[in-house]
Structure 1
């Protein structure tokens, strides 16, 4: 029996393939330092657990409204709007089972087969997967290294827009490279969207995962509220990765479409988890601040060691929990034939497991530097120092 041919265009989150190799190496009795997967090793805050358990005890285990329970939609509208210096109504909010469904439903709602959607590369691999799976043309735009990190190649973005382009996916505070737009860059993307009448998916999963400065949303710029969908997730800020709770904030007409999609796809988001989400938003934020302080220490430790390792360098990011170091010379030092070989050698010689640039989209023409990604969200500072020091010593020994 045959399967649908469109499955050939369905990608995956490639970090999980790296996780499988790391798990196999660990099963053979080796020490593994898992820098590959951006999960968090922080427990749910007690007040969130209490709210979830109470909701279960109170019978909040039934079906509930497809767009989310009214109380959570109102809480999200208030929180997301106030933190961005604007206002949203509950009708703008559609609750979903995490952030990923927002990507899928955005693509389904605004793109017809054959339409073009621009997306960041390196970037979260699900963007490209969902565009191509639903019959669209995925057009990648790149980032250029700068003195402070990475910047969108705006000239390339302009060159990619055609009369078939319907949307651009924009990930400020970006995974995997931790890039953050300047106000000028943000305004330039907004202007292109307005000029060419494009929808914008603003992936703001890491909007509040930052150590210095303040975040801004493209949705608040003039002319953008009516064309922008904000992707919101509880996974990062509240360490609720396994709870699967997120939301889309969109113009009302699109929110209604998302609600209908919810009804078709999963009926509703888990009822009692939504009550936990309300507690997360409205309860004490001290656990969030405590987690960010710990993550900042991990970032600083990782950057210190990476920047003292031969052939490796990275800018200290102000947000997310990823590093995207340049390892061009390190790959050469250990005699690796390519990035995949470098990653395998590193795992087998040091136990350090990580994703490479190639796990976040096909390399683009003209890329002459090589990068890897470290996620430091799931290891203690001591483990980070231990693992990366071992990696450093291995590379030093190859000189």
Structure 2
């Protein structure tokens, strides 16, 4: 029996392979300091849990409309619109089982086989996987290091566009590198999209996970709402990673297509989780402020320890819960040239588990420096201090 040939093009989120290696090392009786997965070790707020349980008790356990219950779509339209200075009609909101389905359904809606889609590299690996899987041409655009972190190489991005390019995936407040666009960069991306008549997927998963400044959406710029799909998720802001709740805010034609896809794929998103989502949006926000304060403490500690380690350096990001330090000289000091070997040695000598640049899209010819990603959303300050302290001592010993 044969399987479909397209499965050969299907990638995965390879950070989970790192999690398996860390779990195996822990099972052998070793201490692991988990910097590898962007999960959150903080609980959902009590009022969200209460709303979830009440919805179940009240019988909201059956089918519901494919694009989401009207009450949640209205709450999302108000929340997302007010945060971005936009007026959003609830009919443009399509509820999904987390943020990831928005990527898949966006590509199915706008990309034909053979057409090109620009995507960030390094970037969230599911972009590349899904472009390949559905037969598109994956067009990676690069970032360049700056004193403040990373910036999109706009000239390189422009050079990737051909007559068959149909869309660009844009992840402002970026995973894994925590890059944040300046207003000038955001406007330049918008101008490119308008000039070349490109659809835009604006992945805004970390829009509200920030410690300084104010987030802005490319969709709010002139001429962009009609060509942009916003990806929104409850996973980050509300620590609802396992609840699998998100949405797309899309132009009407795409919203209708995505609604039909929902009906084909899942029928609907769990109704009782949607009622919990309403409570998250409209209820007290103290837990959000507390979570951000916790993350900021972890960010500051992580950056301080990284920058005090020989051969490692990173700019302090203003958003997300990742740092993406350059470890080129640290690897030279340890005597390894491959990131996978460096990660393996670090785990077995210090217990520190992390992803590397190789987990976030295919390596490119511009990848001259070596980087790792440290996620601090699922590890407390004490463990950060112990783990990165051990990593520092190990590198210093060489």
TM-score per shorter chain, which class? over 0.9
Per the alignment, in what secondary structure is the counterpart of residue 226 of structure 1? helix
Query: What is aligned with 2:92?
Result: 92
Matched, 1:371 2:374: no
Per the alignment, in what secondary structure is the counterpart of residue 20 of structure 2? helix
Q: How much has 1:164 moved relative to structure 2?
A: 0.3
1:1-399 alignment runs, 5 A limit? 1-398=1-398
Superposition TM-score, scaled by structure 1 size: 0.99
Alpha-carbon distance in 1 for matches of 2:243, 2:284: 19
RMSD over aligned CA atoms reads 0.5
Aligned residues: 398
Q: How much has 1:337 moved relative to structure 2?
A: 3.1
Structure 2: tracts of 5 or more residues without a match: none
Deviations 1:300-358 (A, max 9, x none): 00000000000000000000000000000000111123111000000000000000001
Q: How much has 1:361 moved relative to structure 2?
A: 1.1
Query: Once superposed, which parts of structure 1, at least 4 consecutive aligned residues long, lie more than 4 Å away?
Result: none
Per the alignment, in what secondary structure is the counterpart of residue 226 of structure 2? coil
Per the alignment, in what secondary structure is the counterpart of residue 395 of structure 2? helix
Q: How much has 1:99 moved relative to structure 2?
A: 0.3
Alpha-carbon distance in 2 for matches of 1:366, 1:355: 19
Alpha-carbon distance in 2 for matches of 1:108, 1:184: 30
Alpha-carbon distance in 2 for matches of 1:153, 1:20: 34
Q: How much has 1:362 moved relative to structure 2?
A: 1.6
Alpha-carbon distance in 2 for matches of 1:246, 1:194: 27
Deviations 1:120-152 (A, max 9, x none): 000000000000100101010000001111000
Structure 1: tracts of 5 or more residues without a match: none
Alpha-carbon distance in 2 for matches of 1:191, 1:170: 13
Alpha-carbon distance in 1 for matches of 2:382, 2:131: 40
Q: How much has 1:57 moved relative to structure 2?
A: 0.3
Q: How much has 1:366 moved relative to structure 2?
A: 2.7
Deviations 1:75-104 (A, max 9, x none): 000000000011101001000000000000
Superposition TM-score, scaled by structure 2 size: 1.00
